[in-house]
Structure 1
Amino acid sequence: MRDDVPGQKGDLQLVQLLPNLMTIAAICAGLTAIRFGFQSDFERAVRLILLAAVLDGLDGRLARMLKSESKIGAELDSLADFLNFGVAPALIVHVWALQHWRGAGWIAVLVYAICCVLRLARFNVTSKDADDTADKSFFVGVPSPAGAFLVMLPMFVAFLFPDMPRLPVEVLAGYVVAVGLLMISNIPTYSFKKIAVSRRDAKFVVVGFVLLIAALLTYLWATLALLSIGYAATVIWALRPGKTPKRGQG
């Protein structure tokens, strides 16, 4: 899109609106997830957060492919990230397990949401002043989409093992706060966008992607739980002594 350029005239191709339409669709998914959360339909709410994450991963790439990046699109994307990965997961977790713990559960939700918006604000600022010497294979802190799925990890486990006792509310609240703090931390986290594979091995990546989609469609909660635990393991791995890189933006 070029709707943010004053005085520019001419028709806009409909296809160039697709990235922003996808972002708006992600916002709709996040808002609807909150609705289902308040209706105690938690599984459907989490599925909608997953849909929002998929749309979030596609809209920027589509905008670059179509050469339709815009300032409005960038702002929309940031606002969508805050709603879908900062507000919606926190509210859903609060209704799921924290709402009966007086104000302490709500404080944990507030801390997580504020950490998410600070994380996004830092990303917006640093991405405009990127350091070319930084290691682009790493972010600073946990990205907001990963934070959302980490904070919902106890829900994935509960859906997978419905007869298993839930975590004590105090532990769960502390966990929510800890995930929020990880987002604004300075620890290095892997940026999987920068992973490169040889053309010879590309077929194995395609097969792996197909298996991942099949696993999500067949064993959703087990797959999300394993992915979240695996990501947490990469955060720990990146903190190995002597292996801390010069972090990239994010």
Structure 2
Amino acid sequence: MSDPNRAAEKLTLIQLLPNMLTVIAICAGMTAVRFGLQGSYEIAVQLILLAAVLDGMDGRLARALKSESGMGAELDSLADFFNFGVAPGMLLYTWALEDSSNFGWLAVLAFAVCACVRLARFNVQRKSEDKAHDNAYFTGVPSPAGALLVMLPMFLSFGLGTGPFLPDLMLSLWIVLVGLSMISRFPTWSFKTTRIPRKSAKFFLVAVALAGAAAVTYAWITLVILCVAYIATVIVMLPRSKRRIGGDRGAD
């Protein structure tokens, strides 16, 4: 007779699929660094974008399959740190800052540390028994969005067909600013809880189709527009940020 306890310890390939996506995302991030060191920056950025897409899929797939696990969550967090904290900074450094003074490397280090702190804080909040926080908002810019924002100068350069156009100091300041936005306390919009009214669903689908067509035809310019739109969304959320911070201080 087969032991039911042993059978319960076994996982199907479908249940392992979320972890497989996470591992593929790590491979994409590692390969992005390799292509960046070889000077193939567009391919490297595309691989980080692929890692961001996979990051958006693995957690939702794990919840849908009821295969969430502590190991999967930790693996996802480590993948996020490398793909969105280390790899983008390395690309920017080899792309434009390698010949700069030490402040270029210090900016990359600051960004990586901010991404690490951001993910550590997120893990603590996720494991906390206090579930009173608003799930419609993140605290600070999430690491995948931070990776896209920090690569905005690269998107602009690829879209305009030019090389690095920002002075080294200005690019370094941008990297640090994006890093600080990840560890900030202001709320940023989470798309996880967004609901579309039924009457507006058809217009939303048309908009998604147009955005997809634009992303295929004018990939880099579309990414620039998306980054600028996200920054505008964060700025619009700043008044809510002040009210939320004031409420947190009043509760202490």
Instruction: Note the alpha carbon deviations across 1:199-248, whole angstroms, 9 max, x for none.
Output: 23222222222222222111110011010111111111111378744799
What is the aligned partner in structure 1 of residue 136 from structure 2?
Answer: 137
Matched length: 243
Residue in 1 aligned with 2:90?
A: 91
CA 1:165/1:110 → structure 2, altered by over 3 Å: closer, same or farther?
closer
- The structure 1 segments of at least 4 consecutive aligned residues displaced by more than 6 Å after TM superposition are none
Q: Tell me the equivalent position of 2:104.
A: 105
Aligned to 2:20: 21
1:239 matches 2:211: no
Rounded to whole Å, the distance in 1 between the matches of 2:238 and 2:28 is 34
Are 1:156 and 2:170 matched, yes or no? no
State the alpha-carbon separation in 1 of the partners of residues 241 and 103 from structure 2. Answer: 38
User: TM-score by structure 1 length?
Assistant: 0.91
Report 1:1-12 matches (<5 A): 9-12=8-11
Q: Is residue 114 of structure 1 aligned with residue 113 of structure 2?
A: yes
Change (3 A) 1:242 1:32: closer
Q: Which has the larger radius of gyration?
A: 2
**What fraction of aligned residue pairs are identical, expressed as a percent?**
55
Q: Distance in 1 between matches of 2:243 and 2:27?
A: 39
CA–CA distance in structure 2, aligned partners of residues 44 and 164 of structure 1: 15
Distance of 2:36 and 2:243 partners within structure 1: 39
1:25-83 per-residue CA deviation (whole Å, 9 max, x = no partner) reads 00000000000111110000000011000000001111111111111110110011001
Q: Does 1:40 align with 2:45?
A: no
Q: TM-score, normalising length from structure 2? A: 0.90
Higher relative contact order (CA 8 A, sep 6+): 1
Contact 1:90–1:112 (CA under 8 A) maintained in structure 2 = yes
Shift in alpha-carbon separation, 1:39–1:164, aligned structure 2, 3 A: closer
Match of 1:63 in 2: 62
Q: Unpaired runs of 5+ in structure 1?
A: 1-5
Deviation at 1:165, TM superposition (A): 6.7
Q: Does 1:187 align with 2:186?
A: yes
CA distance in 2, matches of 1:195, 1:33: 31
Q: For residues 173 and 36 of structure 2, what CA distance do their matches in structure 1 show?
A: 21
CA spacing shift, 1:25–1:242, aligned 2, 3 Å: closer
Q: What is the match of residue 205 of structure 2? A: 206
2:172 corresponds to which residue? 173
Residues 1:52 and 2:43 are matched in the alignment: no
Partner SS for 1:115: helix
**SS of match in other structure, 1:136:** coil
Deviations 1:161-196 (A, max 9, x none): 124770111000011011101100111111122111
Which whole-Å CA distance do the structure 1 matches of 2:172 and 2:56 have between them? 28
Which residues of 2 match residues 210-225 of structure 1 at below 5 A?
210-225=209-224
* Partner deviation per Cα, 1:97-135 (whole Å, 9 max, x = no partner): 111113111100000000000000000001111644332
Kindly state the Cα deviation for residue 138 of structure 1 after the two structures are TM-superposed: 1.4
2: CA distance between counterparts of 1:222 and 1:26?
A: 24
CA contact (8 A) 1:30 1:83 kept: yes
- Structure 1 or 2: more helix by fraction: 2
| Equivalent AA in structure 2 for residue 79 of structure 1 | L
